[in-house]
Amino acid sequence: MIDTTEIRRFVPTPEQYAWTFGGVDPVMRIRPGEVLGLYTEDCFAGQIRTTSDLFSRSCEYPFINPQTGPFYVEGAEAGDTLAVHLIDVRPARDWAVSTTVPLFGALTGTKYTATLQPPLPEKTWLYQVDRERGEVTFDALDSPHEVHLPLEPFHGTVGVAPAAFEARNVLVPEAFGGNMDTPEVRAGTTIYLGVNVPGALFSLGDGHYTMGEGEACGVAVEGAMDTVLTVDVVKGTFCEWPRLESDEAIMVAGSYRPLEDAFRIAHTQLVTWVASATDMSVMDAYQLVSQGARSRIANVCDANYTVVAKIPKRFLPGGVPWLDGAHERVRERGRAVLAARGASS
Amino acid sequence: MIDTTEIRRFVPTPEQYAWTFGGVDPVMRIRPGEVLGLYTEDCFAGQIRTTSDLFSRSCEYPFINPQTGPFYVEGAEAGDTLAVHLIDVRPARDWAVSTTVPLFGALTGTKYTATLQPPLPEKTWLYQVDRERGEVTFDALDSPHEVHLPLEPFHGTVGVAPAAFEARNVLVPEAFGGNMDTPEVRAGTTIYLGVNVPGALFSLGDGHYTMGEGEACGVAVEGAMDTVLTVDVVKGTFCEWPRLESDEAIMVAGSYRPLEDAFRIAHTQLVTWVASATDMSVMDAYQLVSQGARSRIANVCDANYTVVAKIPKRFLPGGVPWLDGAHERVRERGRAVLAARGASS
Amino acid sequence: MIDTTEIRRFVPTPEQYAWTFGGVDPVMRIRPGEVLGLYTEDCFAGQIRTTSDLFSRSCEYPFINPQTGPFYVEGAEAGDTLAVHLIDVRPARDWAVSTTVPLFGALTGTKYTATLQPPLPEKTWLYQVDRERGEVTFDALDSPHEVHLPLEPFHGTVGVAPAAFEARNVLVPEAFGGNMDTPEVRAGTTIYLGVNVPGALFSLGDGHYTMGEGEACGVAVEGAMDTVLTVDVVKGTFCEWPRLESDEAIMVAGSYRPLEDAFRIAHTQLVTWVASATDMSVMDAYQLVSQGARSRIANVCDANYTVVAKIPKRFLPGGVPWLDGAHERVRERGRAVLAARGASS
Amino acid sequence: MIDTTEIRRFVPTPEQYAWTFGGVDPVMRIRPGEVLGLYTEDCFAGQIRTTSDLFSRSCEYPFINPQTGPFYVEGAEAGDTLAVHLIDVRPARDWAVSTTVPLFGALTGTKYTATLQPPLPEKTWLYQVDRERGEVTFDALDSPHEVHLPLEPFHGTVGVAPAAFEARNVLVPEAFGGNMDTPEVRAGTTIYLGVNVPGALFSLGDGHYTMGEGEACGVAVEGAMDTVLTVDVVKGTFCEWPRLESDEAIMVAGSYRPLEDAFRIAHTQLVTWVASATDMSVMDAYQLVSQGARSRIANVCDANYTVVAKIPKRFLPGGVPWLDGAHERVRERGRAVLAARGASS
């Protein structure tokens, strides 16, 4: 039997980073119920450390956004759903960085929204991190303005191997998860990902210490992360798009373009999930989601844009085991891990 | 001199409803500093009152979404900005309704996202309103589920006469404001609208008692409203897109399609507003907005979609009079009105 | 009785230009069957005449794209359809111009696709026109390259007063027609526009001597036009979106954003038109349009983008009077006018 | 030395079909200059043969759109460009099929433009093919209408292994080519694809006997194809997006969403190509493309939408070897093959 409070630690070497979802051999085999302690490097692979390190000089596509993984989960088969529960998501450093990237971001022409205009200036901002106070400090480059922003750590990227024999770059969010860049992927949340290949092959990375809605400039406050998580497998149920569950809410992430299609995917999936898991009709669920949704824009800069449809559980019929009760199970395990850690510290 | 605690009451007769922004004669002339007490009818012109009143039988386009106004504000000239401050936004009834509307909404083909599929079923939901407890009650049509949602009243529609000699249907949001359907238009907020014609000619309506993010089914919990507001004019400054200011945040509403263009408009305007009103450079403002934005999707169903870019004032340089200090002035007046009302009740 | 070969000439004075569809008094009342000979000024109101006349110095919004009209058509009532048949569309000058306009066009950020990048350089190109040879000459500004392009004159803008009491700027294409910028609006074509107000109030302008697909830089080869047309009214039938008919094809123009919605509108309308006017089922019409469409992108730069769905008549069941046979009637009248003109010259 | 009139024939067995671009071992190694005679199966893998074969019963995702290949081209390295020249594209059967596919196509909600509406009916149409007369015959299911459409054979899909270690499903068009569904990929055309991996690994399939603009219902007139082609490698030049060249025109294919982004990619690339290959400035090239483009919508139904920007060579400076003169070289080889074939038949 698994000691669910024992943490199996994995820190990838640079050669072990994954640059795609799919098409990569697993770095480790794990069993449902195991607890992993993972180190994830920042999206720049740690190459940007000062305000004079510019993206285009320090980084080389496609070696951007290194992922820790993939992990082969025993017993996970195509048609199942993998539940990844984040127990703790903690900055691994006391500094972080953000940048502009030429022709990347929401407020500039890009590779896809192509224009003939020259790119915006390339800049790098360095943030100091105060983990005790829960703050990161923005320090303006061209004026004395300095301000504390709340530390709200999450993983921009988490996903499994895609369907249809695809391998996708780690900057892409889609039905397999990936680079969704949503703050909802934080400690306490369970992420449900439909399994497409044996073992599911999930990986994660892209630690964000904080981020504004939509990741407007294309880059969050990026930093390495120490993350504790556990996984479970929901047999025989397949989530077409990533679902998320916290103690308070259920959610679906939709990722595509244009942004209204991301909204449509996420909300259509949420409505039909509610209707299928309760005694509500689709039209009633449509109405209730329409009035009760607390959805957020995740990113408007990646290869696909992401919206996360979200509804508080308190608005929904009670006592529903949303995905076979998986969140409650992994949540309990997470609490035990935190308690054990607290006891030992 | 104006007694700013005296409330000038206006309840439109059905013949007085406005169905466009622009192209309509004013119902009243007012002076900056005056306080208005307005009644606004619901978006169905009060024609839907039971679950058997269906939209297509009860309502006739374009007599949808009646506006109270327009009001001619003395001294407002093209190139100025009108500040509309909402002092109190209160449900005028103890019930409200929502519906589906054939080929309207975010999760269906529409007139513009045209498909060959038949429309979804037409339904009406009736909500009970408890103003004391601050709740509206959703009552499912096809199951026993019943749940309280928080009463969060706001105006879906507020705007001025558009530029370029246009008159726009009251269901449209654009640079002149209009049917933005954002919960940010609530009591305590100042809405800044660039003035295009003498007197600005603002009107408002479309009371929402609560609404989910994006107004997915195309209709909120709709109800008549009793609203107290005051107006001011910022001379010589023109807001290209609607700006909003509360005690806590500054915001810009962008309305267009696709949804990412609404996001781009709102955030570009917010970045350049911050840069022009402070000593921050545009690139620093871009970075800070990227990390600090608390933006929300407003609607994904109207003729144009709306996103409201928002940043807390506490993240920005202090002591900035965002639009000549207009919000502080009208806010103070609002507090006096509320205090006087409290004293008299 | 109307002498349908007599041409009633109208040349607007600058004070008579219309700057909106809707909200403007008619310049003239005409009867169905009458033939008009109209002068239309170019989209710059004739203010750009040399390569050193730059748009932002020579023109002032919203006095862009002057329309000739509106004309009140006797007997046209809301719910009818106006048929405008272009008999002759002829350059009124032996020169034309094109420009870039700051933050306007398909390959630049714009007012709506807002970015933080600076605009592209502002330039003006002068074209010589050879009406005999049917050519316009492109003359590069920065190199010796000079080349003849085919003269393919059409009107970028033709429309009626919109529905729902709206008045729309003359740069906008929508259900009422307007600034569709499609080369299909040329001599020999009948444009069908649903009538929203008594008299229909149609106007036209924006002569283009030639244009590439999509009007990429936002401006065609712009020139004044001498145009002969006739009108008819199809009673009791309302076209929701502009339809076009030539001897060879039937078409529908869809105008909205994103561009796929323009495509969807145009093709959905074309499919249902074919199905309703013939014995074909909707699914068969969908299939046939899918294989037989010869549709074109019209504009990807205006307030709404336009696609024109088009299917050759030879692919469709024969002998169908597409809109009550209106095209055949006006086409015959057009031939008589051309014959009379030929005889008199 | 290669006998360039000798045709190396390859007919894949079903086990040899490729279902992705990238991630697949080559079926054959070839040398630049070799001539291949390839059989490609239709997009249904030949499983739909009568009007009672419905897509959802006959086909199973992702085994849709089988590709013939990939071929390893000796000497092709990352950073080069592969030139694939189509010498002959000929229907391999005297029948073809089209269908509707549930929740796929431009005039229906889809997996990505998700709605709550039920799918359209599923249907199959059978086309007879007359290769001598150059016609396919549409035969309506629900009425007697029958009509000949012109036989215009092309390959909907041609591509190479993508960049960034990706493997993409064969239904996707993107920078690597793929399922662009443009009629411009026909006999006489050279397709230029930037090489991302050693050997380029190109494959092709998805024969279309004819198709309307935009492939509105999601499916063309689909059939097996006998295709003769030759390849060449342009060393040291990398095409970011697929370019095409015929005797008459140069083109660029852009594939993304929304459709205007496909337009922007294609036209921006075409403008900068013209400017870099001639003495024209970017602004002059922008103007000339704006007036001279003969671009077409390719698809509005696939995972990404495609627009092909196209300008006739006669509008451009003369004597330009567009990509090192590759088209002229492969074109000459193609003529020799056709001549030899003619001589032997």
Which one of D101, D111, D116, D256 would you mutate to disrupt binding with B, by most B Cβ within 10 Å of its Cβ?
A: D116
Which residues from A are below 8 Å from C109, CB to CB? 108-109, 115, 117
D149/C291 Cβ within 8 A: yes
Residues of C in contact with B112 (CB under 8 A): 256, 261, 264-265
Closest in D23, D62, D268 to A116, CB measured: D268
CA distance B173 to C328: 41
The count of other CB atoms within 10 Å of the CB of residue A319 is: 6
Residues of chain B in contact with residue A278, where contact means CB-CB under 8 angstroms, are 143, 145
Closest CA to C78 of B20, B62, B165: B62
Does any CB of chain C come closer than 8 Å to the CB of residue A343? no
Q: Do D295 and C106 touch (CB under 8 A)?
A: no
Residue with tokens 């694809």: D193
Chains touching chain C through at least 3 C-beta pairs below 8 angstroms are A, B, D
Best of B100, B104, B116 to mutate (most D CBs within 10 Å, chain D): B116
pLDDT at C2 over 80: no
3-state helix, strand, coil in chain A (%, to 5): 15, 35, 50
Alpha-carbon distance values, B333 to B6, B225, C139 (Å): 11, 21, 63
Give the tokens for residue D250: 């140069």
Torsion sign across C-alpha atoms C107, C108, C114, C115? positive
Q: pLDDT at residue C341 above 90?
A: no
- Please tell me if residue B115 touches chain D, with a CB cutoff of 8 Å: yes
Flag whether residue D19 sits within 8 Å of chain C, measured between CB atoms.
no
Alpha-carbon gap: D311 to the closest alpha carbon of chain C (Å): 9
- Interface membership of A120 toward C (CB under 8 Å): yes
* D108 shares contact with chain B (CB less than 8 Å): yes
Chain B neighbors of D114, CB-CB under 8 A:
107
Return the structure tokens found at C48.
């750009």
Is the separation of the CB atoms in A74 and A201 below 8 Å?
Answer: no
Q: Which amino acid is at D31?
A: R
Q: Does D294 touch chain C (CB under 8 A)?
A: yes
**CB-CB under 8 Å, D117 with B115:** yes
Of B61, B167, B265, the CB nearest to C166: B167
Q: Which residue has the higher pLDDT, D62 or C3?
A: D62
* pLDDT-based confidence at residue D127 (cuts at 50, 70, 90): very high
User: Is there a contact between A158 and A65 (Cβ–Cβ < 8 Å)?
Assistant: no
Q: Any chain D CB within 8 A of the CB of C295?
A: yes
Q: Do C109 and A109 touch (CB under 8 A)?
A: yes
Count residue pairs from C and D with Cβ separation < 8 A.
Answer: 217
Q: Which of 231-270 (C) contact A at CB < 8 A? A: 258
C300 token code pair: 């990807």
Of the residues A259, A276, A278, the best mutation for testing chain B's interface (the one with the most B CB atoms within 10 Å of its CB) is: A259
Identify the pLDDT of residue C252: 98
Rounded to the nearest angstrom, the minimum Cα separation between C302 and chain D is 12
Instruction: List the single best residue of A117, A256, A264 to mutate versus C (max C Cβ within 10 A).
Output: A117
**Taking residues D329-341, what's their average pLDDT?**
95
User: In which residue ranges of chain B is pLDDT below 70?
Assistant: 1-4, 343-345
Helix, strand and coil percent figures for chain B, each rounded to 5: 15, 35, 50
Q: Is C116 near chain B, with CB under 8 Å?
A: yes
How many Å apart are CA B263 and CA D48, to the nearest integer? Answer: 45
For the purposes of burial, counting CB atoms within 10 Å of the CB of C81, is it exposed (0-12), middle (13-18) or buried (19 or more)? buried
Contact criterion met (CB below 8 Å) for B257 and C257: yes
What is the predicted pLDDT for the residue at D341?
A: 83
Residues linked to residue A260 through DSSP beta bridges, in sequence order = none
Phi, psi torsion values for A104, nearest 5 degrees: -145, 140
Sequential pLDDT tens for chain A (345 residues): 556 579 999 999 999 999 999 999 999 999 999 999 999 999 999 999 999 999 999 999 999 999 999 999 999 999 999 999 999 999 999 999 999 999 999 999 999 999 999 999 999 999 999 999 999 999 999 999 999 999 999 999 999 999 999 999 999 999 999 999 999 999 999 999 999 999 999 999 999 999 999 999 999 999 999 999 999 999 999 999 999 999 999 999 999 999 999 999 999 999 999 999 999 999 999 999 999 999 999 999 999 999 999 999 999 999 999 999 999 999 999 999 999 987 665
Q: How far apart are CA D296 and CA C308, in angstroms?
A: 12
Predicted confidence (pLDDT) at residue C344 exceeds the cutoff of 90? no
Q: Which of D99, D145, D151, D269 to mutate to test the interface with C (most CBs of C within 10 A)?
A: D145
Touching check for B128 and chain C: CB below 8 Å? no
First to last CA, chain A: 25
Whether residues D264 and A116 touch (CB distance < 8 A) is answered with no
Q: What is the pTM of this model?
A: 0.98
The complex's ipTM? Answer: 0.97
One DSSP character per residue, C127-141 reads: EEEETTTTEEEEE-S
Q: Which two tokens stand for residue B64?
A: 């949808």
Instruction: Report the relative pairing of strands B221-222 and B225-234 from DSSP bridges.
Output: unpaired
B62 at C interface, C-beta within 8 A: yes
Q: Amino acid identity, residue D298?
A: A
Q: Is the pLDDT of residue C1 over 60?
A: no
CA distances A319 to A252, A334, C43, D110, Å, are 20, 21, 65, 33
What is the least distance, in Å, from the CA of C322 to any CA of chain B?
Answer: 21
pLDDT at C207 over 90: yes
Which of D120, D216, D260 is nearest residue C305 as measured by Cβ atoms?
D260
The answer for A 179-208 residues in CB contact with B (under 8 A) is none
Q: Do C278 and D123 touch (CB under 8 A)?
A: no
Nearest to A22 by CA among A69, A62, A57: A69
D291 touches chain B (CB under 8 A): no
pLDDT at site D342: 79
CB contact under 8 A, A291 and B210: yes
Q: What is the pLDDT of residue C345?
A: 54
pLDDT at A4: 58
Best of D21, D61, D108, D165 to mutate (most A CBs within 10 Å, chain A): D165
Tokens at residue A193, please? 């990902």
CA D334 to chain centre: 18
Quote the pLDDT of residue B30: 98
Residue numbers in B near C23 (CB within 8 A): 23, 165-167
Neighbours of chain A (3+ CB pairs under 8 A): B, C, D
Question: Does residue D121 sit at the B interface (CB-CB below 8 Å)?
Answer: no
**CA of B293: how far to CAs of A171, B4, B211, in Å?**
22, 35, 21
Residue C111 contacts D, CB cutoff 8 Å: no
C-alpha span between D111 and A265 (Å, rounded):
8
Ramachandran class of B97: left when φ > 0, alpha when ψ lies in -120 to 50, beta otherwise: beta
